Amino acid sequence: MNSVYYWILGRDFMKKEYLKLDKIEGPLIMLSEVEDASYGEIIDIDMAGEKRKGKVIKIEKDKVVAQVFEGTSELSTRNASIRFTGKPFEISLSKEILGRTFNGIGIPIDNGGEIYSNKKYNVNGRPINPVAREYPRNYIQTGISSIDCLATLIRGQKLPIFSGSGMPHNELAAQIVKQARISSSSNEEFGIVFAAIGVKHDDANYFKRNFEESGAIERVAMYINLADDPIVERTITPRCALTAAEYLAFEEGMHILVIMTDITSYCEALREISSAREEVPSRKGYPGYLYSDLASLYERAGMMKGNKGSITLLPILTMPNDDITHPVPDLTGYITEGQIVLGRELYQNNIYPPVNILPSLSRLMKDGIGEGFTRKDHPEVSNQLFASYSRVQEVRALAQIIGEDDLSEIDKKYMEFGKAFEGRFITQNFDENRNIEESLNLAWEILGILPKEELDRLSPEMIEEYYNS
């Protein structure tokens, strides 16, 4: 203890605090006569023992504008002391974060105490050098047939889920967290970083309870920003989660799946802050830099040469009015490598998870499936399912005009295939975890409804080996 004591008192120490604010405006505070402040620097705010944090967003001579993460409620120009830390926003990280729950700015909220580590990381991260990027290979099994078979999630990929309000994306996220695992039998470590952005209290409790009950909690680090938490905090939450993921992936060599829900709440927070800063609005009032801001998050996923870890990103976003051309899904689609779309019609037909496979796509799946990864028939089977289900849509449209009874025999087979595909393949219980083998076998079982000659995306060898076997 003596050494700790001498070490503390021997350190240069001086805490300079500013006791008077010039102005408070929304989440922003203004101070003057400030010395040595730097852009992006974090400030500590002390309000009679209540601690808050903020970030310098503007400096003009000795005047500073800072944005308070926890909001400015109850803050007056005379009841707080402000201290400039001289550092950007950093969080302490160690492997201990797995199994822990943090708030939106990385402060533990599970009564487990602080994370004490000498490893502190700037939440803004560092973009991966494009030359150092490694092309994603191999896959992550989610245990959900429609995703694993038809829009396979590849390690290092960024694959968003496009949902809508009221749709079961939270259940899907929880199910993926419970079931996700890396494919190979190797002893590589796998972990999940879960960021809940602007979620309701009951949703946050739902996630926590689910992860605890399923035993997944041990390998999950949760960052929760609640709907009634300040919006500034919301803009930090995904960055904290990604910083934690970067640490676990690139320092600890783990394969990390980052699930973030809901990115639309994040974008709305950005819009609100942008408006408070009086910035020129762009499409639907979102800031003009929404694209680059989203890219600064999404581009943190990937794999690096010479590093065995990976970050796979599964952001979930709700499309206002189910509009896929809305700026959030639209700009997300430019950056990410495909999308999984949830269909409202499927959901209304009681199909869970309501993955609408036709607009869904995983651009990298071709390089992470097939022999050596999943099973040799996987690429052909998924192509055939897409083709056949697409034909089902045409047949259904025809049946609406002429009636189901007047359809040709082959069209009736397609109708039967469509029902089986939606009812048995896409539909899955919340607790049903299908491995890739089971999903592919089920796909063959359903393809068995169609006559062999209709299976034009499958090679004769595959048909010989798997058709109705």
Residue 5 touches another protein, criterion: CB under 8 A:
yes
Alpha-carbon torsion 355, 360, 364, 365, what sign?
A: positive
Q: Site for another protein (CB under 8 A): which residue of 25, 62, 213, 461?
A: 213
Residue 166 touches another protein, criterion: CB under 8 A:
no
State in angstroms the smallest separation of the CB of 169 from another protein: 22
* Of the candidates 312, 386, 314, the residue with the CA atom closest to the CA atom of residue 146: 386
State in angstroms the smallest separation of the CB of 116 from another protein: 3
State in angstroms the smallest separation of the CB of 107 from another protein: 12
Beta carbon nearer to another protein, 326 or 434: 434
State in angstroms the smallest separation of the CB of 212 from another protein: 6
Residue 118 touches another protein, criterion: CB under 8 A:
yes
Rounded to whole angstroms, how far apart are CA atoms 63 and 208? 43
State in angstroms the smallest separation of the CB of 218 from another protein: 6
Say how many CA atoms lie within 13 Å of 5 toward its Cβ: 2
Contact flags string 402-441 toward another protein, x per CB under 8 A: -----------------------------x----------
Beta carbon nearer to another protein, 114 or 453: 114
Rounded to whole angstroms, how far apart are CA atoms 220 and 97? 8
Beta carbon nearer to another protein, 115 or 153: 115
Beta carbon nearer to another protein, 130 or 215: 215
Q: Site for another protein (CB under 8 A): which residue of 122, 124, 214, 383?
A: 214
The answer to whether the CB of 332 falls within 8 A of the CB of 262 is no
Beta carbon nearer to another protein, 88 or 370: 88
Residue 306 touches another protein, criterion: CB under 8 A:
no
Residue 275 touches another protein, criterion: CB under 8 A:
no
Q: Site for another protein (CB under 8 A): which residue of 36, 60, 61, 114?
A: 114
Binding to another protein (CB under 8 A): which residues in 8-37? 8-9, 11, 13-20, 33
Q: Site for another protein (CB under 8 A): which residue of 24, 26, 81, 376?
A: 81
Q: What's the token pair of residue 164? A: 């809508």
State in angstroms the smallest separation of the CB of 321 from another protein: 37
Instruction: Tell me the window of 3-11, 51-59, 135-143, 152-160 that interacts with another protein (CB under 8 A).
Output: 3-11
Beta carbon nearer to another protein, 9 or 397: 9
Residue 92 touches another protein, criterion: CB under 8 A:
yes
Instruction: Tell me the window of 59-67, 105-113, 248-256, 269-277 that interacts with another protein (CB under 8 A).
Output: 105-113
* Of the candidates 374, 444, 462, the residue with the CA atom closest to the CA atom of residue 148: 374
In one letter, which amino acid is 108? P
Radius of gyration of the CA atoms of the chain, in A = 25
Instruction: Tell me the window of 7-15, 57-65, 158-166, 379-387 that interacts with another protein (CB under 8 A).
Output: 7-15
Beta carbon nearer to another protein, 112 or 372: 112
Residue 61 touches another protein, criterion: CB under 8 A:
no
Alpha-carbon torsion 354, 356, 357, 361, what sign?
A: negative
Provide CB contacts within 8 A for 1, sequence distance 6+.
none
Q: Site for another protein (CB under 8 A): which residue of 150, 151, 199, 216?
A: 216
Instruction: Tell me the window of 104-112, 134-142, 254-262, 311-319 that interacts with another protein (CB under 8 A).
Output: 104-112
Instruction: Tell me the window of 134-142, 214-222, 226-234, 381-389 that interacts with another protein (CB under 8 A).
Output: 214-222
* Of the candidates 137, 171, 131, the residue with the CA atom closest to the CA atom of residue 156: 137
State in angstroms the smallest separation of the CB of 7 from another protein: 8
Rounded to whole angstroms, how far apart are CA atoms 176 and 141? 9
User: 299-330 burial, b if ≥16 CB within 10 A, otherwise e?
Assistant: bbbbbbeeeebbbbbbbbbbbeebeeebbbbe
Cis, peptide link before residue 110, omega less than 30° from 0: no
Planar angle of CA 24, 26, 28, nearest 5 degrees: 55
Residue 215 touches another protein, criterion: CB under 8 A:
yes
- Reading phi first (left if > 0) and then psi (alpha if -120 to 50, else beta), residue 449 is in alpha
State in angstroms the smallest separation of the CB of 80 from another protein: 11
Q: Dump the DSSP string for 195-256.
A: EEEEE-HHHHHHHHHHHHHHTGGGGEEEEEEETTS-HHHHHHHHHHHHHHHHHHHHTT--EE
Rounded to whole angstroms, how far apart are CA atoms 178 and 168? 15
Please give the span between the terminal C-alpha atoms of the chain, in angstroms, as a whole number.
72
Beta carbon nearer to another protein, 2 or 129: 2
Rounded to whole angstroms, how far apart are CA atoms 108 and 118? 17
Binding site for another protein (CB under 8 A): 1-2, 4-5, 8-9, 11, 13-20, 33, 81, 92, 99, 110-114, 116-118, 212-218, 431
